[in-house]
Chain A
Amino acid sequence: MNELLKQLTEAVGVSGDEKEIRRLIRDLIADQVAEWRVDALGNLIARKPGTGESSLRVLVDAHMDEVGLMITDVDSNGTLQFETVGGFDDRALLGKVVQVGPKKLPGVIGARPVHLLKPNQRREIVKVEAMRIDIGAKNKDEAAGKVKIGDRAAFVTDYEELADTAVGKAFDNRAGCAALIELLRSEPYPFDLYASFTVQEEVGLRGAQVVAYDIAPDAALILECTPAYDLPNEKDVSPNVALGRGPSIYVMDAGTIQDPRLVSHITRTAAAEQIPFQIRQPGGGGTNTAAIQKTGPGVPAATIAVPGRYAHTPTMMISLTDYHNVVKLADAALRRLTPDLLQH
């Protein structure tokens, strides 16, 4: 059992309320770094001293927030109205178990049982505005005594392993956080490595923007978990990335064209180290890279991701081999990173 992934995915940290996950990560890295601090927005920033061979400032980022829900009102019957925090398909929500607020009250996103659905209702998609969280309260007063407006709710999914497949919530992006923690635990790099566990990625890359401004790195590597789309498909279209085929390397997404020098550095490193990799299908999506690359005078940046199935639902799956290879590839690419590589 991978204890690190278990701890990180089972901890809660919905965007804007990352205290629990931040404290967990802080405790996990405090002994590995020369210094750590929490900035104004709640980003956890740490410095791992290098050997002094290289004067580069390198930032490795992984966002620690996860998508979730926010309580917006309490109905007279004691059920809770909510809004989504981060991107959701409403269909992924009905009937799911959640934990509400800092006390982690168990709740259920109620769904009308199939017995009570009229034929036309069975074809309708229930919108999130019509959903409620049921915490078993009898009325508004009882619910209001337990829950505050603005409390977050997170999914409840125990971490499990099925051979090479890990099952759990929030691999997006606790898989990236775990990989970054492993980098902090490794031998010193030639340069000082700045690690950022950032907040509010899922609501618009907000934490990373201020970290990049603060650190002003010479280069940045972003560790992520990207949606795998490798389910059976009759048409000959791209599988995007598939579970088990190795780390996913970004070239272009909706918010970036990744630095071509770093992309080829990473693919060359993978080839040299015999690590399998897949180029993520260029197109949509976005990561902290979009914010970091454009901050200040600009930062050469690239992204390596663990492919994950069922992102932004209560339960995701990743391949543990992919995860280990992301750690291996990120580590090797960083060790081989030299200033001349960044010359135009």
Chain B
Amino acid sequence: MNELIQKLVEAYGPSGFEDNVRHLIRAEIEPFADEIRVDALGNLIARKKGSGEGLKVMVAAHMDEIGVMATHITKEGFVRFINIGGVLAHTLLGNRIEFDNGVIGIVYCDKIEDRNQVHPLNKHFLDVGASSREDCPISVGTAGVFQRNFLAQGDHLTAKSMDDRIGCVVAIETLKRLEDTPHDLYFVFSVQEEVGTRGALTAANHLLPDVGIALDVTLTGDLPEARPMAVSLGQGPAIKVKDSGMIAHAGLVQIMRRRAEDAGLPFQMEVLDGGTTDARSMQVAGPGCAAGCISIPCRYVHSQSETVSAQDVENSIKLLTAVLSQPIDL
């Protein structure tokens, strides 16, 4: 599975420009889906038909990752940029940005007056090896992502875009492993989550599911001096109860919990202070649906080294498989 993870996390796919990731995922799931299509905004939607007794279930994992977009080229050929999604200025100095034309930009910032202060994003720039505006290989409006290789070390898996390619992996593996399901399943690999859960909204508007389950990463409280949070790496998938954008359907939460207990899977209950997922959009799309989220605990979210536990990933796949292969009695 690490091979699949590496392929997906190293792919280029900032919000709005998910084509490369979509091609990779499509090739991966094509043999396992009964129908597959791409909608107007670029969501990849794979259907797996059920036996007919169940519900219409939408499972969403987002393909996009955070990134940057060029806003200005200085006359010396440096590139100023703006964030796509929640890019943290703390993570940037000396890092590298990759554009889809292969150009690499080195991130640095304006004069540092105070080492304890971090400049805002607009005082950072990229050095793409140009010496003037004319020979700069990047133009205003070009999007880029962090460049960083995949790392597997012990149980830890680290990459630039675990958020949310690891959710995509959980969806892909579940689709592959699911044998029988009573439900009409729609696996949606969504676009533009990082800029406002936009893709999941339009997909859900179209599908009008009974149940929506997002697969996404969540924060952990297990780091030195961390903000308290009862989710730790390696302690199992987190069943989301609430985040800043959604309160999960209580019945769905109970079912997830029961399936984990029945299967003897470790799990954690998640209350996330800050952030939300595609479940928010699914919940309120059209006439609304019962929405919830299985979260993969992740350290260093929105940095170049987002880190998850391989065991948590495996157990997330098992939990989702258990939920989808049995009736969902709300």
Q: Would you give the 0/1 interface string for A247-278, flagging 1 where the beta carbon is closer than 8 Å to chain B?
A: 00001100001111001000000000000000
Report if A232 contacts B (CB, 8 A): no
**What A residues does B82 contact at CB under 8 A?**
252, 282-283
Q: Would you give the 0/1 interface string for A297-315, flagging 1 where the beta carbon is closer than 8 Å to chain B?
A: 1111000000000000000
Q: Would you give the 0/1 interface string for B12-53, flagging 1 where the beta carbon is closer than 8 Å to chain A?
A: 000111010010000000000000001111110000000000
Flag if A260 contacts B16 (CB, 8 Å).
yes
Report if B132 contacts A (CB, 8 A): no
**What B residues does A294 contact at CB under 8 A?**
198, 201-202
**What A residues does B140 contact at CB under 8 A?**
238, 251, 279, 281-282
Flag if A344 contacts B69 (CB, 8 Å).
no
Flag if B206 contacts A297 (CB, 8 Å).
yes
B63 to chain A, nearest CB (A): 12
Return the contact of B41 from the options A252, A279, A281, A298 (Cβ within 8 A).
Answer: A298
Report if B80 contacts A (CB, 8 A): yes
Interface of B, helix, strand, loop or mixed by DSSP: mixed
Bound complex: CA A206 to CA B188 (Å): 28
Which residues 80-124 of B sit at the A interface, judged by CB distance below 8 A? 80, 82, 84
Flag if B202 contacts A297 (CB, 8 Å).
yes
Bound complex: CA A344 to CA B192 (Å): 16
Bound complex: CA A299 to CA B199 (Å): 11
Flag if B75 contacts A298 (CB, 8 Å).
no
Which residues 59-80 of B sit at the A interface, judged by CB distance below 8 A? 69-72, 74-75, 80
Interface of A, helix, strand, loop or mixed by DSSP: loop
Bound complex: CA A298 to CA B199 (Å): 8
Report if A237 contacts B (CB, 8 A): yes
Flag if A344 contacts B205 (CB, 8 Å).
no
Return the contact of B205 from the options A252, A279, A283, A298 (Cβ within 8 A).
Answer: A298
Bound complex: CA A5 to CA B195 (Å): 36
> Given the interface contacts A257-B195, A297-B39, does A281 sit within 8 Å of B72 by beta carbon?
yes
Bound complex: CA A260 to CA B14 (Å): 12
Bound complex: CA A282 to CA B71 (Å): 6
Bound complex: CA A237 to CA B84 (Å): 20
Q: Would you give the 0/1 interface string for A167-211, flagging 1 where the beta carbon is closer than 8 Å to chain B?
A: 000000000000000000000000000000000000000000000
**What A residues does B143 contact at CB under 8 A?**
252
Bound complex: CA A257 to CA B41 (Å): 10
> Given the interface contacts A238-B140, A260-B16, A344-B22, does A281 sit within 8 Å of B71 by beta carbon?
yes
- Tell me the total A-B contact number using a CB cutoff of 8 A: 76
Bound complex: CA A294 to CA B196 (Å): 11
B87 to chain A, nearest CB (A): 13
Flag if A293 contacts B41 (CB, 8 Å).
yes
Interface size class of B (residues with CB under 8 A): 20 to 34
**What B residues does A251 contact at CB under 8 A?**
69, 140-141
Flag if B74 contacts A236 (CB, 8 Å).
yes
Flag if B40 contacts A252 (CB, 8 Å).
no
> Given the interface contacts A297-B39, A298-B39, A298-B41, does A252 sit within 8 Å of B84 by beta carbon?
yes
Smallest CB gap from B139: residue in A:
A279
Bound complex: CA A85 to CA B47 (Å): 46
Flag if B40 contacts A300 (CB, 8 Å).
yes
> Given the interface contacts A293-B41, A294-B202, does A282 sit within 8 Å of B141 by beta carbon?
yes
Q: Would you give the 0/1 interface string for A322-344, flagging 1 where the beta carbon is closer than 8 Å to chain B?
A: 00000000000000000000101
Bound complex: CA A74 to CA B207 (Å): 52
Report if A296 contacts B (CB, 8 A): yes
Which residues 188-232 of B sit at the A interface, judged by CB distance below 8 A? 192, 195, 198-199, 201-203, 205-206
**What B residues does A298 contact at CB under 8 A?**
39-41, 43, 199, 202-203, 205-206
**What B residues does A236 contact at CB under 8 A?**
74-75
> Given the interface contacts A257-B84, A298-B39, does A252 sit within 8 Å of B141 by beta carbon?
yes
Flag if B80 contacts A344 (CB, 8 Å).
no
**What A residues does B74 contact at CB under 8 A?**
236
**What A residues does B80 contact at CB under 8 A?**
237-238
B259 to chain A, nearest CB (A): 31
B271 to chain A, nearest CB (A): 28
Flag if B40 contacts A257 (CB, 8 Å).
no
Flag if A296 contacts B38 (CB, 8 Å).
no
**What A residues does B199 contact at CB under 8 A?**
298
**What A residues does B22 contact at CB under 8 A?**
344
Smallest CB gap from B196: residue in A:
A255
Flag if B41 contacts A300 (CB, 8 Å).
yes
Flag if B16 contacts A297 (CB, 8 Å).
no
Among B69, B71, B75, B201, residue most surrounded by chain A Cβ atoms (within 10 Å): B71
**What B residues does A281 contact at CB under 8 A?**
71-72, 140
> Given the interface contacts A294-B198, A344-B38, does A252 sit within 8 Å of B16 by beta carbon?
yes
A127 to chain B, nearest CB (A): 27
**What B residues does A263 contact at CB under 8 A?**
141
**What B residues does A218 contact at CB under 8 A?**
40
Bound complex: CA A263 to CA B71 (Å): 16
**What A residues does B38 contact at CB under 8 A?**
344
Flag if B72 contacts A297 (CB, 8 Å).
no
Smallest CB gap from B195: residue in A:
A257
B51 to chain A, nearest CB (A): 27
B161 to chain A, nearest CB (A): 17
Bound complex: CA A260 to CA B100 (Å): 13
Bound complex: CA A209 to CA B198 (Å): 14
11 extra interchain contacts, Cβ-Cβ under 8 A, other than A258-B16, A282-B71, A298-B39? A260-B17, A279-B140, A281-B140, A282-B70, A294-B201, A296-B206, A297-B40, A297-B203, A298-B40, A298-B41, A299-B40
Q: Which 5 A-B pairs have the closest CB atoms?
A: A257-B16, A298-B202, A238-B72, A297-B206, A251-B141
Interface residues of A (CB under 8 A from B): 218, 236-238, 251-252, 257-260, 263, 279, 281-283, 293-300, 342, 344
